[in-house]
């Protein structure tokens, strides 16, 4: 089933994933009536991507705060599908706790309430694999599915916020709309997302260039994960949207969450950086900076220092215990349920995803070198 005639709202549309969702919608669903792209702010490049589109679909730019009820009300009027990818990602404690919570939890609930008041029929939430784990013990998972039992611990504040937001989304499924319809929701839990324009890859690249073209190793080789290419998670959102509108599939998908991965080989985070850049002359450190247990307690020491300095100065450690566990726990999941329930199959194979990402990295290396030269001068 196509999305012909649908008016769609995409939140977080100025971000790494949100832009890809919008561009893929414009490319694949040429009979969409309208796409409203919502974010706090848009880069010049994002605006060019949206405004240069030559198809029939109307693209409306909405700049505003997801915590603004009146803004959300205006954004959702006349919309039948919402893809909610907006969130603040923070694993180092850089963002103020109240802001992160207000955007990720309160903002999601406000958007859900607004959708119900405006008779929005379908809602897809971009969650995260971190809602599942790893937990604080670093218990590994191999090729898990949505029914795999796993003890979850609180994790980062970011993780807690995403877990509560996802719960709100799935709980909202089945609510009655004012026009007599039913509100249908689902959530997608992607693994670590890589690809062109990734801010995380850019940060790792900067560190590698400063380290004489050698990526820092913060994850041991044995800590296998299965990253997902940004184009594939964007594609999963579109397939989920179609399924929510399909009478033959909606019964399976509504009110459920789904793991989304692809055929990217299982490898550690550090080795992913290397695989994407080795043909460009970048290497990766062979070992962790110190034995894993020692590194864990070193992170604890940094956290204690940060706590003691808090009354005087805001010191953000470069790592913490939760990050050490996250980076060094084997954690892989399967997308079998997404394939079974709404036909998700990766649109981009690993070879193409790697090539696209590597070409982007090659294109930004010169400007990153200049930027770092100025920054460290």
| Active-site residue list | 158
Query: Residue 234 CB: number of other CB atoms within 10 A?
Result: 27
The 3-class SS string of 221-260 reads: CCCCECCEEHHHHHHHHHHHHHHHHCCCCHHHHCCCEEEE
- What residues contact 127, with CB distance under 8 A and at least 6 apart? 162, 165, 166, 169, 187, 188, 189, 190, 257
Burial class from Cβ neighbours inside 10 Å (0-12, 13-18, 19+) for residue 376 reads exposed
| Element (DSSP H or E) covering residue 5 | none
What is the rounded CA–CA span in Å between residue 282 and residue 214? Answer: 6
Assigned token pair, 129:
């694999």
Q: Annotate 36-58 with b (16+ C-beta within 10 A) or e (fewer).
A: bbbbbebeeebeebbeebeeebe
User: Using omega within 30 degrees of 0 as the cis cutoff, is the peptide bond preceding 134 cis?
Assistant: yes
Long-range contacts of 247-252 (CB under 8 A, 24+ apart): 249/341, 249/342, 249/343, 250/184, 252/340, 252/341, 252/342
Q: Which residues pair with 258 in a beta bridge?
A: 188
Catalogue the E-assigned strands of the chain: 7-11, 34-39, 58-63, 81-84, 122-126, 141-144, 184-190, 193-194, 214-215, 228-229, 257-260, 283-284, 331-333
What is the rounded CA–CA span in Å between residue 17 and residue 47? Answer: 15
What is the rounded CA–CA span in Å between residue 14 and residue 44? Answer: 10
| Element (DSSP H or E) covering residue 203 | helix 199-210
Assigned token pair, 82:
């919402």
Return the DSSP state at 218. Answer: -
Query: Given the structure tokens 């290397």, which residue do they identify?
Result: 274
């Amino acid at each position: 089933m196509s999305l012909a005639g649908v008016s769609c709202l995409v939140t977080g549309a100025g971000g790494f994933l949100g832009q890809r969702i919008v561009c893929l919608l414009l490319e694949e669903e040429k009979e969409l009536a309208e796409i409203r792209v919502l974010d706090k702010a848009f880069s010049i490049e994002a605006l060019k991507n949206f405004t240069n589109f030559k198809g029939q679909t109307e693209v409306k730019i909405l700049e505003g705060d997801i915590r603004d009820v009146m803004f959300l009300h205006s954004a959702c009027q006349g919309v039948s599908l919402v893809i909610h990818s907006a969130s603040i990602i923070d694993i180092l404690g850089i963002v103020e706790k109240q802001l992160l919570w207000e955007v990720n939890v309160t903002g999601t609930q406000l958007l859900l309430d607004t959708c119900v008041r405006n008779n929005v029929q379908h809602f897809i939430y971009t969650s995260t694999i971190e809602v599942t784990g790893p937990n604080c013990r670093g218990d590994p998972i191999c090729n898990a599915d949505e029914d795999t039992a796993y003890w979850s611990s609180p994790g980062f504040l970011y993780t807690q916020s995403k877990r509560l937001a996802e719960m709100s989304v799935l709980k909202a499924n089945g609510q009655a709309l004012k026009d007599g319809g039913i509100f249908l929701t689902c959530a997608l839990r992607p693994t670590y997302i890589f690809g062109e324009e990734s801010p995380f890859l850019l940060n790792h690249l900067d560190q590698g260039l400063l380290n004489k073209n050698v990526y820092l190793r913060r994850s041991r080789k044995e800590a296998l994960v299965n990253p997902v290419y940004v184009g594939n998670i964007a594609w999963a959102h579109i397939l989920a949207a179609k399924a929510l509108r399909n009478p033959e599939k909606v019964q399976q998908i509504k009110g459920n969450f789904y793991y989304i991965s692809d055929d990217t080989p299982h490898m550690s985070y550090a080795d992913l950086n290397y695989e994407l850049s080795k043909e460009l002359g970048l290497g990766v450190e062979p070992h962790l900076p110190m034995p894993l247990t020692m590194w864990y307690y070193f992170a604890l020491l940094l956290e204690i220092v940060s706590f003691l300095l808090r009354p005087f100065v805001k010191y953000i450690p470069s790592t913490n215990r939760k990050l050490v566990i996250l980076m060094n726990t084997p954690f892989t999941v399967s997308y079998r349920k997404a394939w079974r329930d709404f036909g998700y199959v990766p649109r981009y194979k690993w070879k193409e995803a790697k090539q696209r990402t590597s070409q982007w990295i090659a294109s930004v290396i010169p400007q990153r070198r200049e930027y770092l030269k100025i920054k460290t001068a």
